[in-house]
Amino acid sequence: MDWCLILTMDTGTIRRVRWVVAALALTFVGAFLAWAILFGINLRARFQAQSLVAAVRSMQVGSSALEETRPLLRRYHASPLAAAFTNQYSADTGFDINVTPENIETLAERFYFLRPVGLTFWGAGAEMYFRNGRFLRTKIFRWDRSGQKGRILGKAIL
C-alpha cells in the first residue's frame, strides 16, 4: 500500500521529502559528533583527575623529596600556596593542584539534561605541603557531578 503512495507523488514532493530526510540525518550526525567530542573531553578530564589522585597517594610522607615531585607539579600546573595556608601546617612550601575542565563544568550546568548521557563534571584537586624539602601533608579532593567539593579522599600527616 505504501509503495502506491510513493508512485502517486510528483517529483517536487519526492524532492522535499528527500531534503527533510537529509536535514534530519545531518542534524542527528551533528548532534552525535558534538556529544562525542564533549564526552571525549570529559573522559580525558576524568582520567587526569584519577591519575592525579593516584600520583599524590603514591608519595611517601617524610621520605618523598620536593625535587622528586617537581615533574608532578609541572605536569598538573601546580600553583604555590600563600604563607597563610602553609603556616597552618608548619610547612615551608605548599602547592595547589586542580584538574577541572571549566568548559565542561559550564556546559554541564547549562545543559543539565545531558548529564545522563555522559556530560558530567569530574575534577580533582590536591594541596601538598613540604617542610625542609620533605613531603609533609596532603589533602586530596574530588568533585562530583554537581561541581561541589566532595569529601577528602586522603590525608597524610607527618
Count of domains forming the chain: 1
Q: What is the pLDDT of residues 28-80, one digit of tens each?
A: 999 888 888 878 877 887 888 888 888 888 888 888 888 888 888 888 888 89
- The conformation of residue 121, written as its DSSP 8-state character, comes to -
Q: What is the pLDDT of residues 66-95, one digit of tens each?
A: 888 888 888 888 889 888 888 888 888 899
Beta bridge mates, 139: 127, 155
Helix (H, G, I), strand (E, B) or coil at 71: helix
Q: Which domain does 66 fall in, by range?
A: 2-157
